[in-house]
């Protein structure tokens, strides 16, 4: 069975600082991996996705993620955080059915 673990429930970061959100997955084959972002009261927006090929994936809003098969990880990074990045972030793995992690809430302080 597939599953996703996001170890950090809540992260606080200063504006302009770097951000890294952790994601570990369990899946029997090569996974399809996703990061979604959800602003308060809003739906889910796709940030980026990994299907195959280059293990460093670029997404929208300046985010990137790196797939590491040996560590079963797909961590999300941003070099310099903006106040508008405050949101909840979900990592997901997909066969036909998408399995989500519990999410990481990011707070950005001025």
Partner 1 sequence: NAGVTQTPKFQVLKTGQSMTLQCAQDMNHEYMSWYRQDPGMGLRLIHYSVGAGITDQGEVPNGYNVSRSTTEDFPLRLLSAAPSQTSVYFCASSYSRLQGQKRTQYFGPGTRLLVL
Contact positions vs partner 1 (CB under 8 A):
4, 9, 32, 34, 36, 42-44, 46, 49, 51-52, 90, 94, 96-103
Least distance from partner 1 to the Cβ atom of residue 102, Å: 4
Nearer to partner 1 among residue 97 and residue 110 (C-beta):
97
Rounded to whole angstroms, the Cα distance separating 51 from 57 reads 10
Least distance from partner 1 to the Cβ atom of residue 99, Å: 8
Least distance from partner 1 to the Cβ atom of residue 10, Å: 11
Q: Quick one: tokens of 103?
A: 């999410």
3-state DSSP call for residue 83? helix
Rounded to whole angstroms, the Cα distance separating 96 from 56 reads 23
Least distance from partner 1 to the Cβ atom of residue 23, Å: 12
Nearer to partner 1 among residue 28 and residue 43 (C-beta):
43
Rounded to whole angstroms, the Cα distance separating 15 from 100 reads 27
Rounded to whole angstroms, the Cα distance separating 2 from 94 reads 8
Nearer to partner 1 among residue 15 and residue 32 (C-beta):
32
- Phi, psi of 41, deg, nearest 5: 75, 10
């Amino acid at each position: 069975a597939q599953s996703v673990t996001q170890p950090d429930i809540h992260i606080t970061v200063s504006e302009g600082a770097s951000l890294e959100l952790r994601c570990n997955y369990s899946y029997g084959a090569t996974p399809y991996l996703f990061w979604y972002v959800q602003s308060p009261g809003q739906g889910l927006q796709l940030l980026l996705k990994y299907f195959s090929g280059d293990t460093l994936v670029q997404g929208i809003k300046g985010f990137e993620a790196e797939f590491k098969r040996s560590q079963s990880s797909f961590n999300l990074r941003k070099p310099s955080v903006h106040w508008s990045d405050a949101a909840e972030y979900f990592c997901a793995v997909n066969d036909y059915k998408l399995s989500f992690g519990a999410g990481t809430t990011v707070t950005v302080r001025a």
